[in-house]
Structure 1
Amino acid sequence: MIRFDCQLDRRDFRFRVAFEAETGITALFGPSGSGKSTAIRLLAGLEAAKEGRITLGDRVLLDTAKRVFIPPHRRRIGLVFQDAQLLPHLDIRANLTYGRFFTPRDERRIAFDPVVEVLGIGHLLSRQPDTLSGGERQRVAIGRALLASPHLLLMDEPLASLDAARKTEILPFIERLRDEFRVPIVYVSHAVEEVARLAARVIRLDNGAVTAAGSPAEVLAPVALASFADRFDAVSVLSAPIRRYLPEYGVTLLDHPAGEIVVPGLVPTGQGEVRVAIRATGVTLAVGRPAQVSVRTVLSGRITAIDRNESPFAMATLVLPGGQTLKAYATRLAFDALGLDIGDEVQALIKAATIDERSLAILPPA
């Protein structure tokens, strides 16, 4: 269990953040300048709080009231940044084992071979850092942090510098280290697909304060109409068991109570439910079930709220059979032309092409 409660003042920024996190991945989510990286630096001991207390399990890392401050090198916390920061004069094997030198031998509980296997980097051990791709360098950086046998792993925008293909490549490795090594992770990102896929708990920050905390479904769904430019960040998070996958089409069918959901990619059957992030701008509303359309995902729902302002857009909240909610953006013109109102039964159309496969999380069986 991580307990974090810190205050920090800069000339143009006030930081007042408190949260708790358990095993698994806790995501710090929010816009640039919201305080995500400041929280990471305070957790790592790289910056001092004006007032605060940080505990990791039964260890007190910081307590300003009692003048307790554990320095960074004694906190047993691993860090992974945007830049892998590998040592250029060492080969990959030496880079991986570098952090272990600072860990007492009797506390090295994470072995070399399992980490190399999970991260898929065995073939890179004799290579030099400058010969690796960006995704390979980040996997090595994660391995180096993990091999120090940390009590906590901090990941500050670890995929921000990678292109879409490399992000897709590395996300499964982060899931595997989360599931197989059971090290608690605090993961900083402003990418909603990463957060929806990886996190068990999300802490939303804005302007140095916590504005929401809970599951991805609770925190990522907008509670009000987003600003004109931010409407693309409005998402709903749905989960459903796998019905079957169609390898000939490269899609997986999910069995949601509101209707079948078609997602890109092949998700292995025999797993738990799949969690998927759906952008509100990617949902089309229809009155009655449409015929002869290319969209395969058609979900039945009832409108429980419509949020409007002076922008061209309005946002509907739909309750789906089974109790999950779905947000849908459309122009105010469309809402009025269709005569949509609270209580109406509608169909929500979702193109598979608008679903980012990086958002698909396989949840463990209950």
Structure 2
Amino acid sequence: MLEVSLRHAFAGFTLDAQFRAPPGVTVLFGRSGSGKTTIVNAVAGLLSPDEGRIASGDWVLLDTDRGVRLRPHRRRLGYIFQEGRLFPHLTVRQNLAYGTWFAPKGAPREDMGRVVEMLGIGPLLHRRPAALSGGEKQRVAIGRALLSAPRLILADEPLAALDEARKAEILPYFERLRDEVSVPILYVSHSASEVARLATTVVAIEGGRVIAQGPAAEVLGDPAILPAGAREAGAVLTARVAAHHDDGLTELDAGGIPLFLPRVALAPGSLLRVRIAAHDVILSRERPEGLSALNILPGRVQDVRPGDGPGAIVALDTAAGRVLARITRRSAEALGLRAGMDVHAVVKTVSVAAADIGTSGAG
């Protein structure tokens, strides 16, 4: 358990954040300028904060009260930047080996062959970075970080510089990293889809302060938080693959409720996460009939949160989990929505994007 407590004043902005990062992927989530990268740079030793403590048991990186400020190269961290930052004159194999040169003697380390297999970079070993795609460079950067035997991996918006196709290529590797590697990961993102797919724990940041911390389904499903704004609102459901149908749809079992999605390349029985964007949900007082939408989730209104403009966020508890709907305040008033009311959430099958579907790790 990494414990982080930081305070640092900039001109016009003060960071004052405290949180705990348990094993798995802890995502610092919030809008641009909220302080996420500042926190990661403080953990890495690239920023020396005015006050703070960063420690896990007897492993102390920073303790300003005791005068402890470890230099970056002594912190045993693996840092994955927005761009791979590979050495252009070295092959992929040599870039990976560079990470091993910094692994302390006797420290537990990952096997090179296992890392190469996990990241699917075997065919790339003899290439130089100039011959790699953006997604391939990031996979190599992940491998280099792993092979340095780090006690913690930092990933500062590692997909931000990639197009959607390359992001789709990389996300499954971060899921494997979360599920198969024991090294905890502190991951920075402002993408709700990335958070929903990857996070074991979400630390929501706003204006330099932590406004919420907890499992992804809990934090993303809270209508009072919305760290990325109402437009990015959406809840996370955990479901199991029930069957694949001949018409190209996959049927999920979400808490006993059938949920249909475009074909998912996972075997029946597989557990996955599905992010349902709030703007893709419509509500009905009665169970609707004669609709083309296949997904109808009965539930009960937990909260109605009017926004500053014409919209409102409605939190609905269903057997599948918490669902958020982004509707107009006029619609909320016309339906007479209030806490405790039974309603039905309707979700179009094709509205769930592939980027919002991923394997389910711990939490």
TM-score (norm 1): 0.93
Q: Map 1:1-366; keep pairs closer than 5 Å.
A: 1-107=1-107, 109-224=109-224, 230-246=229-245, 248-257=246-255, 259-269=257-267, 271=269, 273-309=271-307, 311-321=309-319, 324-363=321-360
| 1:58 positional shift | 2.4
Decide whether aligned partners of structure 1 residues 55 and 31 sit closer, same or farther in structure 2, where only a CA change above 3 A counts.
Answer: same
Answer whether contact 2:81 2:158 (CA < 8 A) is retained.
Answer: yes
Residue deviations 1:284-309 (CA, integer Å, cap 9, x gap) = 11232223322111111122332225
Decide whether aligned partners of structure 1 residues 271 and 76 sit closer, same or farther in structure 2, where only a CA change above 3 A counts.
Answer: farther
What's the C-alpha RMSD, in Å, of the aligned pairs? 2.2
| 1:149 positional shift | 1.0
| 1:85 positional shift | 0.6
Q: Which secondary structure state, in structure 1, belongs to the residue aligned with residue 258 of structure 2?
A: strand
Q: Which amino acid aligns with 2:272?
A: V
Q: Which secondary structure state, in structure 1, belongs to the residue aligned with residue 17 of structure 2?
A: strand
| 1:21 positional shift | 1.2
Q: Which amino acid aligns with 1:349?
A: V
Unaligned runs of 5+ in 2: none
Distance 1:101 1:225 in 2: 43
Answer whether contact 1:271 1:362 (CA < 8 A) is retained.
Answer: no
Distance 1:134 1:225 in 2: 33
Decide whether aligned partners of structure 1 residues 64 and 336 sit closer, same or farther in structure 2, where only a CA change above 3 A counts.
Answer: closer
Q: Which secondary structure state, in structure 2, belongs to the residue aligned with residue 175 of structure 1?
A: helix
Distance 1:80 1:232 in 2: 28
Distance 1:225 1:79 in 2: 29
Decide whether aligned partners of structure 1 residues 365 and 175 sit closer, same or farther in structure 2, where only a CA change above 3 A counts.
Answer: closer
Distance 2:167 2:243 in 1: 26
Answer whether contact 1:250 1:266 (CA < 8 A) is retained.
Answer: no
Answer whether contact 2:17 2:210 (CA < 8 A) is retained.
Answer: yes
Query: Bigger shift: 278-287 or 252-261?
Result: 252-261
Distance 2:225 2:70 in 1: 43
Q: Which secondary structure state, in structure 1, belongs to the residue aligned with residue 244 of structure 2?
A: strand
Decide whether aligned partners of structure 1 residues 347 and 93 sit closer, same or farther in structure 2, where only a CA change above 3 A counts.
Answer: same
Distance 2:248 2:85 in 1: 37
Answer whether contact 1:265 1:357 (CA < 8 A) is retained.
Answer: no
| 1:167 positional shift | 0.8
Unaligned runs of 5+ in 1: none
The percent of aligned pairs where both chains have the same amino acid is: 44
Q: Which amino acid aligns with 1:277?
A: R
Answer whether contact 2:219 2:225 (CA < 8 A) is retained.
Answer: no
Decide whether aligned partners of structure 1 residues 218 and 226 sit closer, same or farther in structure 2, where only a CA change above 3 A counts.
Answer: closer
Q: Which secondary structure state, in structure 1, belongs to the residue aligned with residue 159 of structure 2?
A: coil
| 1:347 positional shift | 1.5
| 1:165 positional shift | 1.1
Distance 2:311 2:162 in 1: 33
Q: Which amino acid aligns with 1:125?
A: L
Distance 2:8 2:308 in 1: 37
Q: Which secondary structure state, in structure 2, belongs to the residue aligned with residue 176 of structure 1?
A: helix
Q: Which secondary structure state, in structure 1, belongs to the residue aligned with residue 267 of structure 2?
A: coil
Decide whether aligned partners of structure 1 residues 356 and 128 sit closer, same or farther in structure 2, where only a CA change above 3 A counts.
Answer: same
Q: Which amino acid aligns with 2:345?
A: A
Decide whether aligned partners of structure 1 residues 122 and 197 sit closer, same or farther in structure 2, where only a CA change above 3 A counts.
Answer: same
Decide whether aligned partners of structure 1 residues 317 and 142 sit closer, same or farther in structure 2, where only a CA change above 3 A counts.
Answer: same
Residue deviations 1:88-107 (CA, integer Å, cap 9, x gap) = 11111111111211223432
Q: Which secondary structure state, in structure 1, belongs to the residue aligned with residue 90 of structure 2?
A: coil
Decide whether aligned partners of structure 1 residues 291 and 53 sit closer, same or farther in structure 2, where only a CA change above 3 A counts.
Answer: same
Answer whether contact 1:29 1:203 (CA < 8 A) is retained.
Answer: yes
Q: Which secondary structure state, in structure 2, belongs to the residue aligned with residue 66 of structure 1?
A: coil
Answer whether contact 2:221 2:315 (CA < 8 A) is retained.
Answer: no
Distance 2:248 2:156 in 1: 32
Decide whether aligned partners of structure 1 residues 22 and 309 sit closer, same or farther in structure 2, where only a CA change above 3 A counts.
Answer: closer
